[in-house]
């Protein structure tokens, strides 16, 4: 599936095939919504799904990295795999003890679709693409609501919340 195809799928799920609610443009202040906003929702869906898989300990998201004291966190960092003698302060890693270099494993976020070309094949399987599209549709339809916890529960992705949405 390409990026353009998944955007079309999201548009089908939100009944916006004619690009009326989320215009094709999105560059002007009069119409800030658009394909860019749908891409933001797809990126948010990717983050949500990545965090869920990392919490479950999915080894497909593991990456290894050799780091030095005071190095910044990788851009795709979710959490360390296991216990490491590193304190994270802001966006920097600070080592405990005298070590200057450590090899660590961490769970990495899946690549954002906004960084891919329109006709690029997405590096996800069909089930993942469908889940991303469903989550993005939920975010798009609920953009003015307080909570999407019920929608997330329907997808089996947790999301407890209070009844009044706050």
pLDDT tens digits for range 90-141:
899 999 888 889 999 999 999 999 999 889 999 999 999 999 999 999 988 8
Model pTM?
0.77
Q: What average pLDDT does this structure show over 37-65?
A: 95
DSSP 8-state secondary structure symbol assigned to residue 35? H
- Whether the pLDDT of residue 162 is over 80: the answer is no
Task: Give dist(CA 105, CA 107) in Å, integer.
Answer: 7
Task: Give dist(CA 139, CA 142) in Å, integer.
Answer: 5
């Amino acid at each position: 599936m390409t990026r353009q195809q998944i955007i079309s799928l999201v548009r089908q799920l939100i009944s916006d095939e004619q690009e009326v609610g989320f215009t094709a443009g999105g560059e002007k202040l009069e119409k800030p919504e658009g394909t860019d906003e749908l891409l933001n929702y797809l990126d948010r869906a990717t983050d949500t799904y990545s965090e869920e898989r990392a919490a479950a300990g999915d080894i497909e998201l593991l990456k290894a990295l050799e780091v030095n004291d005071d190095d910044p966190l990788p851009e795709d960092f979710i959490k360390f795999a296991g216990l490491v003698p590193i304190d994270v302060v802001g966006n920097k890693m600070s080592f405990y003890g005298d070590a200057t270099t450590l090899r660590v494993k961490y769970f990495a976020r899946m690549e954002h679709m906004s960084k891919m070309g329109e006709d690029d094949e997405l590096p996800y399987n069909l089930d993942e693409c469908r889940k991303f599209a469903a989550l993005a549709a939920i975010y798009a339809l609920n953009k003015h609501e307080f909570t999407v916890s019920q929608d997330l529960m329907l997808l089996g992705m947790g999301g407890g919340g209070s009844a009044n949405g706050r």
